[in-house]
Chain A
Amino acid sequence: QSVLTQPPSVSAAPGQKVTISCSGSSSNIGKNYVSWYQQLPGTAPKLLIYDNNKRPSGIPDRFSGSKSGTSATLGITGLQTGDEADYYCGTWDSSLIAGVFGGGTKLTVL
Chain B
Amino acid sequence: EVHLVESGGGLVQPGGSLRLSCVASGFTFSSYWMSWVRQAPGKGLEWVANIKQDGGEKYYVDSVKGRFTVSRDNAKNSLFLQMNSLRAEDTAVYYCVRLAARQALDYWGQGTLVTVSS
Contacts and interface: CB of A to CB of B under 8 A. Distances in A.
Interface of A: 2, 32-33, 35, 37, 39, 44-47, 50-51, 56, 86, 88, 90-92, 96-104
A37 B45 CA distance: 10
The 7 nearest A-B residue pairs measured at CB = A99-B47, A50-B104, A104-B44, A92-B103, A33-B102, A44-B108, A101-B45
Contacts of A90: 45, 47, 103, 105
Contacts of B77: none
Contacts of B59: 97-99
A90 B48 CA distance: 13
A32 B103 contact: yes
B44 A47 contact: no
22 contacts: A2-B44, A33-B102, A35-B104, A35-B105, A37-B105, A44-B109, A45-B108, A47-B106, A50-B100, A50-B104, A51-B104, A56-B106, A92-B102, A98-B47, A98-B59, A98-B60, A98-B61, A98-B62, A99-B37, A101-B45, A101-B47, A102-B44
Main secondary structure of the interface of A (DSSP, over half): strand
Interface of B: 35, 37, 44-47, 50, 59-62, 95, 100-111
Contacts of A88: 44-45
A18 B100 CA distance: 27
Given A96-B62, A100-B47, A101-B44, 7 more contacts: A35-B103, A44-B108, A47-B105, A50-B106, A90-B45, A90-B105, A104-B44
A43 B45 CA distance: 13
Nearest to B95: A44
Contacts of A35: 103-105
- Choose among A90, A91, A98 the residue with the greatest number of B CB atoms under 10 Å from its CB: A98
Contacts of B107: 47
